[in-house]
Structure 1
Amino acid sequence: MHISEGVLSAPVLLGGAGLTVIGTAIGLRKLDYDHIITVSILSAAFFVASLVHVPIGPANAHLILGGLLGVILGWAAFPSILVALLLQAVLFQYGGLTVLGLNTFTMAAPAVLCSILFRPLLTRGSGSRFAAAFACGFIAMLLSALLTAGALALSGDAFVGAAKVLLAAHLPVMFVEGVITGFTYTFIAKVKPEALAVTSGL
């Protein structure tokens, strides 16, 4: 769901960058540094998953695992995703440095929001836990697609069509994200629940 450089307007770029700075600062402040390895592993998972992508005009469709990062990392999803996107921009020219802030925000903000909204259900029995984790994965991808499409639409009428195609193309990916997030979270909650306490509160 990376947006390429040279597409977005300056106000959209600056707004996304500013919000990412705030989110990353909160994430670093809340991060339990005993869980740096967990953050690094999930950042690497995000890095690999989002390398496999299908171009759609000025953006592309791919797994992002945003919901999974959100339910495990909370606010630490911001620095985790920022580092992964920075490495992708530098090593593979995916996205770019000028759109780094906006791309980070569109993926990290929904992850954090879903983590906050579904936190009460995630701490219940296995059935509710799976449903809540599935919802996190599905809705995080949906919101990321909406934010990305919105950023394109705000940057000019020429991108409205591409924004609609981008949103439609991610519909099947949302279900895949939900299933992966549901099974992965419930598995970790059973075998290593201490790995889920990465941030000190939301």
Structure 2
Amino acid sequence: MHLSDGVLPTAVAVGSFVASGLCLAVSLKKTNAEELPKIAVMTSAFFVASLIHVPLGPTSVHLLLPGLVGILTGWSAFLSIFLGLALQSLLFQFGGLTALGANGLMMGLPAWFAALLYHCVPARQGRGAAVVAALASSGAVAFAAVILAALLATGGEDFFGVAKIAVVAHIPVIGVEGVISAFVVGFLQRVKPELLWAPMERRGA
């Protein structure tokens, strides 16, 4: 789920960069130094997962992990994902530099959505934490697919068909990411629950 250079109209690409820059500033401001090791790990996980593409019909899909990144890093999720996208673009030409702002919004906003959903739900204990994580992560992927479709639609009628295919192709990813997040969060809840704290909430929440 990467937009390439030249796909978006210039005005949309520039506007996306501005919006992404504002979100990045918020993420940086709310990032605590003690969270940097966890952010680095999640950036690496996002970077690697997004490199593994699985062919599916006329397109391909891959793990996105915005939900899991958001749940574990909170406000810092946008920073984590933006760094991962920038490295993918520079090192492997996945996505484009002119589309980096749009790609950042497409992955970063759903990560914040998942973080808010997970950390605002009370009584996240035991299996409840895994269920909420699954719903938050699945919702984040669906949100990302909607943003992708909306951005592609700005390119004109030629991209309407591509937008529909891209959304449908990511339906399996919605389920897979929900399962992965449920497993990871359930495991951390048992062995190291403090890792599930993120700057979206207060300590002890």
Question: Which residue in the other structure is 1:118 paired with?
Answer: 118
Question: Which residue in the other structure is 1:165 paired with?
Answer: 165
Residues 1:122 and 1:176: Cα distance change in structure 2 (over 3 Å)? farther
Question: Which residue in the other structure is 1:95 paired with?
Answer: 95
How many angstroms apart in 1 are the aligned matches of 2:59 and 2:26? 28
Residue deviations 1:83-141 (CA, integer Å, cap 9, x gap): 11111111101001111111011011011012112323365222221111001110100
Give the length in aligned residue pairs: 202
How many angstroms apart in 1 are the aligned matches of 2:60 and 2:20? 21
The 3-state SS of whatever aligns with 1:51 is coil
How many angstroms apart in 2 are the aligned matches of 1:60 and 1:34? 37
Residue identity (%): 40
Q: How far 1:43 sits from its partner (Å)?
A: 0.3
Residues 1:60 and 1:85: Cα distance change in structure 2 (over 3 Å)? farther
How many angstroms apart in 2 are the aligned matches of 1:135 and 1:143? 12
Question: Which residue in the other structure is 1:47 paired with?
Answer: 47
Question: Which residue in the other structure is 1:149 paired with?
Answer: 149
TM-score normalised by L of structure 2: 0.91
| Counterpart code for 1:187 | F
TM-score normalised by L of structure 1: 0.93
Residues 1:122 and 1:166: Cα distance change in structure 2 (over 3 Å)? farther
Question: Which residue in the other structure is 1:17 paired with?
Answer: 17
Structure 1 residue ranges without an equivalent (≥5): none
Q: How far 1:173 sits from its partner (Å)?
A: 0.8
Q: CA RMSD in A?
A: 2.0
The 3-state SS of whatever aligns with 1:159 is helix
Return the structure number with greater relative CO, CA threshold 8 A, min gap 6: 1
Q: How far 1:14 sits from its partner (Å)?
A: 1.8
Question: Which residue in the other structure is 1:199 paired with?
Answer: 199
Deviates more, 1:182-191 or 1:148-157: 182-191
How many angstroms apart in 2 are the aligned matches of 1:73 and 1:157? 38
List, as ranges, runs of 4+ consecutive aligned residues in structure 1 with deviation greater than 3 Å: 54-60
Deviates more, 1:128-137 or 1:191-200: 191-200
Question: Which residue in the other structure is 2:75 paired with?
Answer: 75
Say whether the 8 Å CA contact 1:57–1:162 is kept in structure 2. no
Say whether the 8 Å CA contact 2:124–2:132 is kept in structure 1. no
Say whether the 8 Å CA contact 1:2–1:60 is kept in structure 2. no
Structure 2 residue ranges without an equivalent (≥5): none
Deviates more, 1:177-186 or 1:123-132: 123-132
Q: How far 1:60 sits from its partner (Å)?
A: 4.7
